[in-house]
Chains A and B, each alone.
Chain A
Amino acid sequence: MWSLTNISTGIHDWLIQTFNPTWALIIEMVIAGIAVIGLFAVLGLVLVLMERRVAAWMQIRLGPNRVGPFGLLQSAADTVKLLVKEGMTPDGADKFLFNLAPFIAMMVAMLLMVPIAFAKDFQLWDLNIGVLYVSAVSSIMVISILMAGWASNNKYSLMGAMRSGAQIVSYELSAGLSILTIVVLTGSLNINDIIIAQADGWWIFKGHIPVIISFVIFIIAVTAETNRAPFDLAEAESELTSGFHTEYSGMKFALFFLAEYINVFIVCAIGATLFLGGWMPFHIGNWESFNHVMDYIPSSIWFFGKTFFLIFVIMWFRWTFPRLRIDQLLNLEWRYLLPISMFNLLLATAIAILGWHF
């Protein structure tokens, strides 16, 4: 059967036969790097178009429908426009940091791709602390935002960056605690182990109440962490004229823009892996024949289907809810999400110890 695993093993076998192991490894790394960059480009195009279409339909509009069939080439045309624009550096800006910031944003996005399992046995690096790695690396993102805001030498940019700092530092707590719920139930930080543990049902069904609560908290927290509406205080077009990337133009702006969408994809992929079983097909307990039928759908389709479902949910949030004020934002985290997720972690631990999950 066609699968990404067969392709990757085929390439690996051929390289091992043709070159010596060191060169084969190096070539594999280059191929992986190119594949990740290719995935970024495709994701950027697809997600921007998807966002604009979803936004339009939710606001009773049509959305882009003129460039190419059904407007499918709209984001490609936008990319070409951004590529030919001049990437200006303002006079008063800290030139080095200003130019470095977008690359750090992209680097974080690339690093986060490492432990994600895109299909069965198709992963860049099967890290034994995958979940910890993701939550650790994703917090570097705030550095690039702060760097961009500070180096722009613009009060609005700095204000946006400061807000973003407060926001990401706070929401990481509840995101981490809701991830811990799954780690407690599985007993492993390895992403593959977590997926295998869901072979007889996804955690959101098996873990019932505590996992559903932590899923909701996770979605809210990652929406805040990726700086998307209703938590887009760092950008806040209407008050800060797009915040930390006010001064950016051309491709440097495009990198920030791309990093936002890649981050949305990554957090949704993590959410799909932890709560919805990653590439694991929809299995129900011991129904062998039903599980077998589900196995015929390739695992990569399951993974991307779940991820895009979560991306759609996050876009749905964005085009429904109004932006929060900074005090409301911090109230929501420290007075509601954090106590609830702490209590929920306790509940999940009790359920894991007593074996009350399915």
Chain B
Amino acid sequence: MFIVKYIKDVFSGIKSLLVGMRRTGYYFTHHKEIITEQYPDNRDTLVMADRFKGEVVLLHDENNEHACTGCTACELACPNATIKIVTKFDITPEGKKKKALDKFVYHLELCTMCNLCIIACPTDAIKMAQTFEHSVYDRAELTKILNKPDSKIREGVE
């Protein structure tokens, strides 16, 4: 019936509004829930969310070895040419030539933090770091070479 539906509408409307007001009222009275980070003040204790993506890094272990085979999968996956892999040929002990990483060039100024290169990497050599203080005075400083000098590929990574 029309009038029953009308009255039901009014009460369900009021009820749903009160549910919303209860939520905001809860936040208003519970200041512990506040999620604002007062950044420069709490720089030392700042905790970033897991999903935050700051920049691409190439992981090195204590022997200065990384897991990058120079396969260029990340370069192909990148939608805006942020990554440029320069390869070279190493001579293996058996005397064979083997493709290896020479320079991992990363243009931070072009990167959109889309995470596609990390997904594409077959050996999990790269990952997203949580740093975010990337400001520099010269744009050229944003073009980084991610592999450390004299680093080489870890044994057994193909």
Contact = CB atoms under 8 A, between A and B. Distances in A.
B24 A320 contact: yes
B38 A62 contact: yes
Given A62-B34, A62-B36, A57 B20 contact: no
A127 interface: no
A85 interface: no
Interface string B1-30: 000000001100000010011011101100
B21 A320 contact: yes
A61 B36 contact: yes
Interface of B is mostly: helix
Contacts of A26: none
Given A54-B28, A316-B25, A340-B10, A60 B35 contact: yes
Contacts of A39: none
A210 to B, nearest CB: 15
Contacts of B44: none
A61 B33 CA distance: 9
B31 interface: yes
Contact of A321 (B9, B17, B36): B17
A9 interface: no
Contacts of A57: 27-28, 31, 34
A39 to B, nearest CB: 27
B154 to A, nearest CB: 45
B10 A336 contact: yes
A58 B26 CA distance: 8
How many chain A residues sit at the interface, stated as a range, is 10 to 19
Contacts, number: 37
Contacts of B21: 316-317, 320
Interface in A52-96: 54, 57-62
A58 B10 contact: no
A62 B37 CA distance: 9
Contacts of A62: 34, 36, 38
B108 to A, nearest CB: 30
B28 A58 contact: yes
B40 to A, nearest CB: 11
Contacts of B31: 57
A319 interface: yes
Interface string A316-358: 1101110000000000000010001000000000000000000
B27 A59 contact: yes
30 contacts: A54-B28, A57-B34, A58-B24, A58-B25, A58-B28, A59-B27, A60-B27, A60-B33, A60-B35, A61-B34, A61-B35, A61-B36, A62-B34, A62-B36, A62-B38, A316-B24, A316-B25, A316-B28, A317-B21, A319-B24, A320-B17, A320-B20, A320-B21, A320-B23, A320-B24, A321-B17, A321-B20, A336-B9, A336-B10, A340-B10
Interface of A: 54, 57-62, 316-317, 319-321, 336, 340
